[in-house]
Structure 1
Amino acid sequence: MSARTTQSEPAPVLEARHAIALCVGVVVGAGIFRTPALVAANSPGDAEFLGVWLIGGLISIVGALCYAELASTYPHAGGDYHYLERAYGHRLAFLYGWARLTVIQTGSLALLAYIFADYLTALWPLGDGAAPICAAALVVALTGLNWLGVQAGASTQLWLTGLEIVGLSLVIVAGFVFAPEAVSETAIPSEGSLGLVLVFVLLTFGGWSEIVYVSAELRGSRQRIAAVMIASLVIVTALYLLVNWAYLRALGLGGIAGSDAVATELMGGTFGRPGAVLISLLVAVAALTSANATAITGARTAYALGQAMPRLRWLGRWDGQRRTPGNALIAQGGIALLLVLAAASGRDEFGLLVEFTAPVFWGFLLLVGFAQILLRHRHPDIERPFRTPWYPLLPALFCATNAYLLYSSLMHTGASALLGLAVVGTGALLLPFLDSRKRR
């Protein structure tokens, strides 16, 4: 009985270093190479520009402290799906699982695949129409890699995250040591608000919550997840502060705001063509690192969905030999491929996929924040290996932040956002046909 259980469900096989690599890797994607220009354009001065990155890191740590309580109390491969089911019931949880499978994770995977393909084809021109082919090939490759087993995916993540950190360290060294210091200039006029700047910054910090999807596979005590999450975000915050400080020293606030590729400008201006090539490789590695982490965590939600829905039970089969949700990985990869092909017909694949995923993502993250408060009230006596400090102040701050980001994403997105919400709505129509469980 024990051996069979070990083979048919997630088991603690991952070390803390694997979990930290997954969290850091999924957060430090291509955003840090795109977002600083938007933040600088809406910042009145140097101190505000750097300060908002520190604020973004602290707000993310607040969210991690809330999530750590849920993950240590209810460790499960379904992560948010499991928390939402406990707090609101199976119907809302199904909509979340459906959203992850059709919009959030698959859309993110397609988006990251396009970023990787864009930079790869910029380095090695492969002709018109090569980017969608490269993006599709990456989705297939990452799906196959993680289908081989959790150790293959986790070990690859460890190495990719290491390369990513080394690459960002080179950018930091270039900005502080080799690049000439920018001539000080008058602060550029800005009408941007702190709230708008925080939207850009928190989007760049987004993804840290993905670590809860391997909480049931993490070795050690249940409260260990809190240390992993905090350590990961401290590393990310330090990297972001140093990178942006390096940008600021080399280019100045106006130079950052006026650049479409701030890292390329820094490295290219310092080292010439080799520096520009190096930064393109770094962005490609960052996108690849985040895409692999996205594939790992997304498949676990699909697995939890299959466990809960009898007519989707094929998704809920855990491969005991490979210790991975093989069927869920294949389904996720197939949907991501469809999104890659759909985005190929548009002019701005990046913008379309961001609009498609953002409102759905922030909306459900807000519901998870409320779920912590609800479950505290409903189950006051349950063992909680880790408790969020300063409760309920920190959960309230987390919910308020997510509510603002949801509002902003709805106000600044177009038809693609409505399409993403419509896809989630189809889940409500399908639920009666997929859920065949008898009710008491």
Structure 2
Amino acid sequence: MTQACPTRQASPPGSTDAASAAAGTAPPLRMRHAIAIIVGVAIGAGIFKAPSLVAANVPSAGWLFALWIAGGFFTVVGALCYAELSSSYPSRGGEYHFLSRAFGRSVALLYAWARFSVITTGSVALLGFVFGDYLSQLLPLGRYGSAFYAALAVVVLTAINIRGIRQGAATQSWLTLVEVGGLVLIVAAAAWFWWTGGSAAPYAAPAPGTPSATLSLSALGLAMVFVLLTFGGWNDAAYISADLKHRRTIVWALLLSVGLITVLYLVVNWAYWSTLGLDGMARSQTVAADVLTVAFGPAAGKLVAAMVAVAALTSINATLIVGARTASALGQDWPQLRFLAAWDAHRGVPPNSFVAQCVLALVLIGLGTAFGSGFKAMVEYTAPVFWLFFLLTGLALFRLRRIGAGHPRPFRVPLYPVVPALFCMSCGYMLWSSLSYVQSQQLGGFNAAWVGVAVLVTGLLLLQAVRRSERAAGTRLAGRA
């Protein structure tokens, strides 16, 4: 049963005031750091793969660009909801903190467990496989080279972030700069190709399908799954809201980041389409490499491999930063998990949380390697659980408006309740889609999507164990009295 939020959470662990008091210093991040983290998480390897899958399910270029614009629109809708939550309830715990206030500690515990065991560590593992796959094209190490590079990336980035929040944020800023530069290079290649009078190349190896001859709702729905998955990650801004000096900074950081991401995605898709054509996009297995190959020749493929590797590193680093904060907030609220709450005030990081998520991510990399499904299995492993709690976070906004009517809100979602209702409906659709459309990958003989759900269910066992421990502690105290 979900408990009501305790009154002690009027100044909860992980809030701006509590965190600043614990650290004894002002929040260390500025808007540029927040934007770098948000953009770095969202712009990952997806933009180098998803456009081909979207193109294969639309009947025309008009629909192609319309879906990417729709993806930006729904992301802005979500960003507005998160802007209100993050500015009103700033916390290093992010969604964990919102769910705790809205639905009680039990739901928050389940989310934190899901974030730790499925969402964050699964995302780190799948991005590690992307990094390993592409780096192996540049520096091959044999059969297990990809797994080795994946594990190495996780360990090195964890070590950098344990050194301090500024080191992690600075690393993120440089990686994001290189990543965005890679996307600009793709656009420049397309512009050069167009300027020199090239024509769309009906080229590349056959892919799983070509653009739909007629408009199909199911095909458009599937295309939208890939679009929104490519936009995913912007919500991690919630985890750094307590590290920003002014509450409204998170609002502008979210909106500017989402605007930048949407423009970049539209321009990059134009680059793909203007160089390869819609059919060429749909047939391409490596659309970014094909664009540079058409414009500059086969040697450009090596450059694309390096770009995708950097994109994966960027997302891994940002995911590690925000994931450790959820685990730390979990440890603050649950004495049985207090080791996760350890906070290094001088460095501004939770070192134990970083180490714990690093270890679990390495376990998942090992499992993905053993079962041979790697990246795709990790995608299915994380997606349903991710969208379930995204939906609950949207619903938390409605509940917090009702039970916290007098709470200060530096920013309010415009057109309430229409905007948050649209967000919740899109999350519900993505949850259904992640269990309906994506079902080809197996993890040890089981569908990977349902394996992730099963791991979430184990959180119920954790909840029961924690509850029993609390009751036993209460009984011992009563006996002593």
State the TM-score bracket (shorter-chain normalisation): over 0.9
Matched residue, 2:124: 109
Which 10-residue stretch deviates more, 173-182 or 383-392? 173-182
Structure 2 contact 222–437 (Cα < 8 Å) conserved:
no
- Corresponding residue for 2:213? 189
Letter in 2 for 1:210: D
Residue 236 of structure 1 is matched in structure 2 by 261
Partner in structure 2 of residue 423 of structure 1: 455
Question: Are positions 1:328 and 2:353 aligned together?
Answer: yes
* Offset, 1:5: 5.7
For the 8 Å contact 2:47–2:230, the answer to whether it is kept is: yes
Distance (whole Å) between structure 1 residues aligned to residue 74 and residue 255 of structure 2 = 12
Going from structure 1 to structure 2, the CA distance change for 1:5 and 1:404 (only over 3 Å counts) comes to closer
Query: What's the counterpart of residue 287 of structure 1?
Result: 312
Kindly report the root-mean-square deviation, in angstroms, between the aligned alpha carbons of the 2 structures.
2.0
Q: Which one of 47, 50, 59 corresponds to residue 35 of structure 1?
A: 50
Paired position in structure 2 for 1:218: 244
Which deviates further from its counterpart, 406-415 or 99-108? 406-415
**1:8 positional shift:** 4.2
Structure 2 residue identity aligned to 1:241: L
Instruction: Please say if residues 188 and 254 of structure 1, whose CA atoms lie closer than 8 Å, have aligned partners that are also in contact.
Output: no
What TM-score, normalized to structure 1?
0.96
Aligned pairs (5 A) from 1:362-377? 362-377=387-402
1:127 match? 142
Query: How much does 1:11 deviate?
Result: 4.9
Q: Match for 1:22 among 25, 32, 37?
A: 37
Structure 1, unaligned runs of 5 or more:
none
TM-score computed with the length of structure 2 as normaliser: 0.88
Q: Which residue of 1 aligns with 2:231?
A: 205
1:380 and 2:405 are equivalent in the alignment: yes
- Flag the 1:183–1:130 CA change in 2: closer, same or farther, 3 A: closer
Whole-angstrom distance in 2 between the partners of 1:81 and 1:160 = 27
How many residues matched? Answer: 438
Structure 1 residue 154 displacement after superposition: 0.2
Query: What do the CA deviations read for 1:308-339 (whole angstroms, capped 9, x no partner)?
Result: 11011110111011110111000010110100
Contact in 2 for aligned 1:310/1:434 (Cα 8 Å):
no
Residue 259 of structure 1: which of 284, 303, 323 is its match? 284
Q: Distance in 2 between matches of 1:182 and 1:3?
A: 58
Give the distance between the partners of 1:286 and 1:235, measured in 2 at CA.
16
Residue pair 2:96, 2:108 contacting (<8 A) in 1 also: yes
Change in Cα spacing, 1:77 to 1:53, as seen in structure 2 (3 Å) is same
Contact 2:193–2:275, Cα closer than 8 Å, also in 1: no
Find the aligned partners of 1:425 and 1:187 in 2 and give their Cα distance.
Answer: 39
After the TM superposition, which of the residue ranges 418-427 and 247-256 deviates more from structure 2?
A: 418-427
Match 1:77 to one of 81, 88, 92: 92
Q: Distance in 2 between matches of 1:7 and 1:111?
A: 34
Deviation of 1:3 after TM superposition, in Å, equals 12
Match of 2:406, SS state, is coil
Change (3 A) 1:209 1:144: same
Checking the alignment, whether the CA contact within 8 Å between 2:211 and 2:282 is kept in structure 1 is: no
Sort the Cα spacing of 1:183 and 1:335 in 2 relative to 1 into closer, same or farther, 3 A.
closer
Post-superposition shift, 1:193? 3.4
Distance 2:337 2:119 in 1: 19
- Using the aligned pairs only, state the percent identity: 48
Q: Which runs of 5+ in 2 are unaligned?
A: 1-16, 204-209, 440-446
Query: 1 CA distance for matches of 2:421 and 2:394?
Result: 8
Q: Shift in Å at residue 432 of structure 1?
A: 2.9
Q: Please give the alpha-carbon distance, in whole angstroms, between the structure 2 residues aligned to 1:78 and 1:408.
A: 28
Match of 1:312 among 307, 325, 337: 337
Which whole-Å deviations, capped at 9, do the CAs of 1:147-193 have from their partners, x for residues lacking one? 11101100000001011111100100101223523179997525453
Shift of 1:224: 1.5
Residues 46, 4 of structure 1: alpha-carbon distance in 2 compared, 3 angstrom cutoff: closer
Distance 1:390 1:177 in 2: 43
Residue 424 of structure 1 and its aligned partner are, at CA, apart by 1.1
Q: CA deviation at 1:102?
A: 0.5
Larger Rg: 2
Higher relative contact order (CA 8 A, sep 6+): 1
Alignment of 1:156-171 (within 5 A): 156-171=171-186
Per-residue deviation, residues 249-274 of structure 1 (Å, max 9, x unmatched): 00000000001110011111221233
Among residues 105, 114, 118, which one is paired with 1:99 in the alignment? 114
